[in-house]
Amino acid sequence: MKPVKKLNDLVAKKIAAGEVIDRPYSVVRELLDNSIDAGSSDISIYVENGGVTNIRVVDNGSGMSREDLSLCYLPHATSKIETEDDLLSLKSLGFRGEALSSISTCTKLSIVSKKQGEEAYKLIVHGGEFLSLNEFRGSVGSIINASDLFYSIPARRKFLKKASAETTLCKNTFLEKAIPFPNINFKFYKDDKLELFLPKSTLKERVINSFKNKFNSSLLEEVSCEGEGFKIQAVLGRPELHRKDRKYMHVYTNKRRITEFAFIQALQYGYNEVLPGGNYPIAFIFIDVDPSLIDFNIHPAKKEAKFNNLQTIHHRLVELVKSFLSQYHYNMLTSHKSSAPIVKELIDSKRDYNYTKNIPVKNDVVYKEKFDSFLENPPTFKSHQELRDEVTNNNNSRSYKYLGQIMDVFLLVERDNTLYVIDQHATHERILYNKLTSQKVNSQDLLLPIEFEVTNEDINLIEKNLDTYLELGIKVAKLDDDTYKITALPSFCKLLDSEIIDFIKSKKGAKADIQRDLYDTLACRSAIKEGDPIDPVAARELIDAAFQLDQARCPHGRPIWFELTKKELYELVGRI
Ligand SMILES: Nc1ncnc2c1ncn2[C@@H]1O[C@H](COP(=O)(O)OP(=O)(O)OP(=O)(O)O)[C@@H](O)[C@H]1O
Ligand SMILES: [Mg+2]
């Protein structure tokens, strides 16, 4: 072995820089942190050629003096802490005094900055070497340019992905920075084109604006709670909103996104009663912890943290999610009366069943709000004509007596001395399913293709199924390394963008299986649901079609009705 020697400063700096900056998105992360810490209310970022050619951040924050500029790129130069104790009351995102030093080592860095009431100055440092610091023009705030990433460490360049993939990573980092700061305007430019503008808004709106068209944002709610030394704000999806992956489960602590599995697990515990296994919620959690109870100084990119009160926060988080979900346990239109009087009411009344006459009474604020909005916008139930079109059967000489709907899901029918209890959802689902499988697929080009990000695993699956999707009327094409797009869908497809993306990413198996699953999902989504009121005319149309079915089972194999003969009823009450 050779004798031990101290590394020269530049080599040591390059090694240290590699820990903080490993690809363009690390530069994005650090520059945005600095602009946020500088108290900016407006931040724009420009990413050129995946961030390799240039990353520019423009902010209107406090700016730097000449003196600040002369020091800011040196290792361990920071204005955010002075002593170790300051870490216990840390409010800023940065504190190590390493970021600009690392960026200046592996890029060509220039900073134009101006403090209120002072001149503007421009600093230039290339590959860690100071080149100049001169008076310049500029307004209050800073413009930081980091160009030619890794020009001074060519070995690192080899590990960079294609520009499009690096841009996606930069954009994701941008979102992670912007989401917890809804009081700041953020803009993201890709190759000088404005890609995303996030105006100042509420937290929930910030989440919604950040992921436009990715999921149904009307199903998100904001909730919060507090505990000793911490506060939790959460933007949570209702149970209907779920995915096959954890992509939209974000945990932020003191405004940094962290990878703390305990909190992801807490979310899953909270949701596990309403989400079937393998399904994950959409949930954004923002935990603010007293800085003295948390240590971020354990990961160079601050992606991990040590908590003093992890258990307590975990517990509160599970409670918060459960209490949020508890309001969805009841059915909006479900009366809490026993079913018997309702059946009687329906049977002996000559009037048509009118749902507004069965207004449930419950002294629950959330319930009341929901009910008020229900009265203002009554749910659209299938109209006579709509169902008539769907069931293709309109027999006017009926050989049965329709008695009404009970328990918000069953249609009661008397025919040939037999009582039929028909499941409205399952029946409609079967009818729609039969219709889908019997018609020719008519594929329709989309005006706006649906773009979505993919992992290597997704790519393998999608490529394997491309031909199958084409036959089913779904055109999927590769956009770049980690993005695909859907350019056409079957004309009858009423799924949300996020649902069709989920479907494409999760379906395995032969063509027949994929087709069955697709039609199953479509039929299930479009069918009348439990809790949907149904007018008697539409109900009779549905019953007509049900009695014409070859198979009285839903596409999942469950029976769609249940029957009791007069003889069985007599036996049940001991008449015979
Ligand atoms: N956009 C900016 N506006 C105003 N001051 C800035 C800006 N960017 C950097 N600075 C100043 O430069 C200093 C050094 O920045 P740098 O990012 O290297 O370290 P830090 O933010 O203090 O800590 P960390 O390494 O954890 O990010 C900061 O402490 C801050 O005073
Ligand atoms: Mg910093």
Answer whether 339-435+528-572 and 442-511 agree in fold: no
Strands (E) across 148-211 are located at 185-190, 193-198
Nearest-CA residue for ligand 1 atom 28 is: 78
What percentage of the chain's residues is helix, strand, coil (to nearest 5)? 40, 25, 35
Q: Residue 406: exposed, middle, or buried by beta-carbon count in 10 A (0-12, 13-18, 19+)?
A: middle
Paired tokens of 101: 């030093």
242 Cα: distance to centroid of ligand 2 (angstroms): 36
C-beta separation of 267 from 317 below 8 A: yes
The pLDDT of residue 69? 97
Domain map of the chain by residue range? Answer: 9-200, 217-326, 339-435+528-572, 442-511
**Other beta carbons within 10 Å of 558:** 11
- 12-63: pLDDT as tens digits: 777 777 778 989 999 999 999 999 999 999 999 999 999 999 999 999 999 9
Tell me the CATH architecture of domain 442-511. 2-Layer Sandwich (3.30)
Nearest-CA residue for ligand 1 atom 27 is: 94
CATH class for the region spanning 339-435+528-572: alpha beta
Is the model's pLDDT at 444 over the cut of 50? Answer: yes
Is the model's pLDDT at 378 over the cut of 50? Answer: no
23 Cα: distance to centroid of ligand 2 (angstroms): 16
93 Cα: distance to centroid of ligand 1 (angstroms): 9
Q: Which atom of ligand 1 is nearest to the CA of 103?
A: 18
Is the model's pLDDT at 553 over the cut of 90? Answer: no
101 Cα: distance to centroid of ligand 2 (angstroms): 10
> Per-residue pLDDT averaged across 138-152, rounded?
95
C-beta separation of 554 from 432 below 8 A: no
- 453-501: pLDDT as tens digits: 888 888 988 998 888 888 888 999 998 888 899 998 887 777 777 888 8
Tell me the CATH architecture of domain 9-200. 2-Layer Sandwich (3.30)
228 Cα: distance to centroid of ligand 2 (angstroms): 29
> Per-residue pLDDT averaged across 419-440, rounded?
87
306 Cα: distance to centroid of ligand 1 (angstroms): 23
Contacts of 488 (CB under 8 A, 6+ apart): 443, 444, 445, 446, 473, 474, 475
11 Cα: distance to centroid of ligand 2 (angstroms): 22
Mutation pick for ligand 1 pocket among 27, 28, 37 (CB with most ligand atoms within 8 Å): 37
Strands (E) across 271-352 are located at 280-281, 283-289, 294-295, 306-307
Q: How confident is the model at residue 414 (pLDDT cuts 50, 70, 90)?
A: very high
Q: Which atom of ligand 1 is nearest to the CA of 59?
A: 1
Is the model's pLDDT at 383 over the cut of 50? Answer: no
Q: Which ligand is nearest to the CA of 65?
A: 1
Mutation pick for ligand 1 pocket among 20, 34, 109 (CB with most ligand atoms within 8 Å): 34
Measured CA to CA, the distance from residue 26 to residue 494 in angstroms comes to 40
The helix/strand/coil state of 414 is strand
Ligand 1 cavity residues, CB under 6 Å: 30, 33-35, 38, 59, 61-64, 68, 72, 77-80, 94-101, 142
Is the model's pLDDT at 272 over the cut of 90? Answer: no
The percentage of residues in the chain with a pLDDT greater than 90, rounded to a whole number, is: 42
CATH class for the region spanning 217-326: alpha beta
Q: How confident is the model at residue 335 (pLDDT cuts 50, 70, 90)?
A: very low
88 Cα: distance to centroid of ligand 2 (angstroms): 18
Identify residue 366 by its one-letter amino acid code. Answer: V
Mutation pick for ligand 1 pocket among 100, 101, 142 (CB with most ligand atoms within 8 Å): 100
Q: Which ligand is nearest to the CA of 142?
A: 1
Contacts of 93 (CB under 8 A, 6+ apart): 33, 34, 36, 37, 255, 256, 302
